[in-house]
Amino acid sequence: MTAPHIVDPAGLLGEALAEASPDLMRTLLQSIINSLLSADADAVVGAEYGRPSSDRVAQRNGYRHRPLDTRVGTLDVAVPKLRKGTYFPEWLLERRKRAESALITVVADCYLASLSTRRMDKLVKTLGIDSLSKSQVSRMAADLDQLVEEFRHRPLGEAGPFTFVAADALTMKVREGGRVINAVVLLATGVNGDGHREVLGVRVATSETGSAWNEFFADLVARGLDGVRLVTSDAHAGLVDAVAANLPG
């Protein structure tokens, strides 16, 4: 399956990622929010930060940092300041819950497939921001993609060994090739000896098969998953066989 787009009005995958790996979501949310704030402020002053322009109507003047409480913890939000006038991100500070939900959904979508400029543009408009250029939107999508890609393929040995692993599959709908089809999202969460919990891997598959689970666990092991003493899961035969094959003992 290539470039699936999650059809998830209830935000199930976003909630699962936020619950299982708050550190990941906190990092990604803070990055995308600060990128949006900077791009939005650029649109207000009429020019991108640090670039001369005849359309400029004001100058940027650093940032004011303020904490923003979210379901995945407190974010350090950098709100741009202007030399003349003020910049107030109403879309974030007055509609925080709506913005947070939309941002978590797009991050979850990005986790499974590259985030297109069109999807990022849709997110921006959902938040009520109508003044960003195509280049700004494209740059933010690429930056978020890079952060997620680095996390998806990170070595697992640095935070491990993970003594306990929980594995499950979420049944979801994805949009592919202009039609909505059923798919499953394979999800593994690990807990190390210090009690630290994080998402080890997420992958979309056409169905929950033994081969899909085997490829999933083989990738986790290749990235450094070891020291596992217990795997908690349901009794799906393909999952049980994949654990036995890739985590012997």
Distance of alpha carbon 68 from alpha carbon 52, whole angstroms: 32
Range 164-177 average pLDDT? 84
Distance of alpha carbon 217 from alpha carbon 226, whole angstroms: 11
Q: What's the CATH superfamily of 162-246?
A: Ribonuclease H-like superfamily/Ribonuclease H (3.30.420.10)
Please state the three-class secondary structure of 47-61 as a single string: CCCCCCCCCCCCCEE
Length of the chain: 249
Distance of alpha carbon 150 from alpha carbon 123, whole angstroms: 22
Distance of alpha carbon 146 from alpha carbon 157, whole angstroms: 21
Rg (CA), the chain: 20
Instruction: Say if residue 142's pLDDT is above 90.
Output: no
10 band by pLDDT with thresholds 50, 70 and 90:
very low
Instruction: Say if residue 53's pLDDT is above 80.
Output: no
**DSSP β-ladder status, 5-7 and 162-176:** antiparallel
Distance of alpha carbon 225 from alpha carbon 227, whole angstroms: 7
Residue with the two structure tokens 């947070």: 100
pLDDT of residue 73: 87
Range 50-57 average pLDDT? 77
CA distances from 162 to 5, 27, 194, 229 (A): 31, 21, 9, 8
Instruction: Dump pLDDT digits (tens) for 185-215.
Output: 899 999 999 998 888 998 888 889 999 999 9
Phi, then psi, of 179 in degrees rounded to 5: -135, 155
Instruction: Dump pLDDT digits (tens) for 17-46.
Output: 666 667 778 888 898 899 899 989 988 888
Domain boundaries, the chain: 8-152, 162-246
Range 56-69 average pLDDT? 90
85 contacts 98 by C-beta, under 8 angstroms: no
pLDDT of residue 74: 92
